[in-house]
Chain A
Amino acid sequence: MDEIKEKLVDILKDVTGLDNVGADPDEDLFKDGILDSMATVEVLVTLQDTFGITVPVSEFDRSQWSTVNKIAQRVQELE
């Protein structure tokens, strides 16, 4: 789980260009405007490549994918 989170934070930093993303793993990434639709898709595609999981766009429910902790949880379930 910690490994997933580490990789995830790296992905988020790459996509958003912000250094402090993931400092608070419960921060709402959509509410604070950190992820827009474009960045979200980039994260989804990178997650697919990194973890070998498939996440269809309609699987992506904003309320279930809103924080680092929640995304990591979903990735672990799908792996």
Chain B
Amino acid sequence: MHNITPYSSPHYFIYLLLLLLPIIIGLWFGKRFKVYDFFATVVILITAFFGGNMSQGISLIAYVIFEMITVFGYLSYRKKHNSFWIFSLFVFLAIIPLIFVKLDPLIKNPTISLFAFMGISYLTFKSVEIIMEMRDGVIKEIKPFEFMRFLLFFPTITSGPIDRFRRFQKDVLNVPSREEYVELLHSGVNKLMQGLLYKFIIGYFFGTLLLPKVTILAMSYRNQAPLGLSWYVLAYMYVYSMYLFFDFAGYSLFAVAISNFMGVKTPMNFNAPFKSKNIKDFWNRWHMTLSFWFRDFIYMRLTFTIIKHKWIKNRVAIANVSYFALFLIMGIWHGETWYYIVYGIFHALAMITNDAWLRFKRKHRKQIPSNKFTQAFAIFLTFNIVCFSFLIFSGFLDKLWFS
């Protein structure tokens, strides 16, 4: 038996909906069955992580125990003290397993990533969020069971969306009224259908049918154009961008839909990102739970600290330094390859340029026209900049130039 990646095939949904049926019936009659929820979680975890040699499953268990010790260690410390350095130490501890996993390809020593399992990043984001909010004093109590339920909430376990603990608690501690639940089921079914269309039809078309073809074409023309950049590379850029969006947006819709069936309003990940009118707008619409996590736990905290300690006076410089920190960390998080790091730097520069333009526009509001044409041009330009960044992200240039 192999590991079954959640939502990876249409068949998966038939078994999943059977498993969910008792939960749905329970919520319909205003009940949450804690024991059954636990049972369903165990079933999904076993199918996803304990197929084959069980190595992922064992890693998952080791990881959860490690994070439990870290989070509850910090909680008991925080009740009496509040040192910045101890707090930093615990955040560092919480990300150590992820660091090992991410460094693995770099040092080419596969034995070190004891912790590797699918979805480790997303679980780590949740753990770090809890430690940070404990420091801020907004999470004062959390039971080991609640921590596990939040961390291992199965609809989102492998790839998010990244929920927040206090928001999640509000949903699971509450049973929706019949009207609310009908509403949730309705929105869940809609999202499920949209997700099936996105992932298994449009995503399949771009990713499985078109992408291999343009890859072969771009590779075969690479000796006939400067830097190998034939028109087929441009085709690859758009095809890959479409695939990336529809595949991941489709997956995210499934995760939100299944959460809805369980009476949980997991936040959405995408909001028409290709309609963004500038790059800042784009990050408010693309992989939102990740970008908001980075905004709240890296960008805002960093700017807050810089302003409070008056390390840098100039506000533009503060914003720019923080953009660099945010997007470099995001790049490093994606993986230790040159193209992920360049992707991060590219977006930091795009944000800085965008801010400079917005400042300029604010000063010269009267001279700069704003009409349907300029707005359409803004969307067109943003779309192309974003697609270019995805070309970097895809790693295709690495293949084109260095393989």
User: How many residues of chain B get a CB closer than 8 Å to chain A's CBs?
Assistant: 21
Q: Which of B133, B304, B318, B362 has the most CB of A within 10 A?
A: B304
B299 contacts across to A, CB distance below 8 A: 37
A60 contacts across to B, CB distance below 8 A: 300
A36's nearest neighbour on chain B, judged by CB, is B280
B316's nearest neighbour on chain A, judged by CB, is A38
Cβ of B171 within 8 Å of any chain A Cβ, yes or no, is no
In the docked arrangement, what's the CA distance between A17 and B362, Å? 9
Instruction: Tell whether, in the assembled complex, residue A45 and residue B304 are in contact, meaning their CB atoms are under 8 Å apart.
Output: yes
Cβ of A59 within 8 Å of any chain B Cβ, yes or no, is yes
How many CB-defined contacts (below 8 Å) exist between A and B? 39
Interface 0/1 of A43-79, CB less than 8 Å to B = 0110000000000111110000000000000000000
In the docked arrangement, what's the CA distance between A19 and B320, Å? 25
> Which secondary structure characterizes the binding site on chain B?
helix
B308 contacts across to A, CB distance below 8 A: 45
In the docked arrangement, what's the CA distance between A57 and B293, Å? 12
Instruction: Tell whether, in the assembled complex, residue A56 and residue B307 are in contact, meaning their CB atoms are under 8 Å apart.
Output: no
Residues 6-42 of A contacting B (Cβ, < 8 Å): 17, 36-38, 40-42
A38 contacts across to B, CB distance below 8 A: 303, 315, 318-319, 322
In the docked arrangement, what's the CA distance between A17 and B303, Å? 19
Cβ of B296 within 8 Å of any chain A Cβ, yes or no, is yes
B280's nearest neighbour on chain A, judged by CB, is A36
Cβ of B132 within 8 Å of any chain A Cβ, yes or no, is yes
Give residues in B with beta carbon < 8 Å to A. 132-133, 135-138, 280, 295-296, 299-301, 303-304, 307-308, 315, 318-319, 322, 362
Give residues in A with beta carbon < 8 Å to B. 17, 36-38, 40-42, 44-45, 56-60
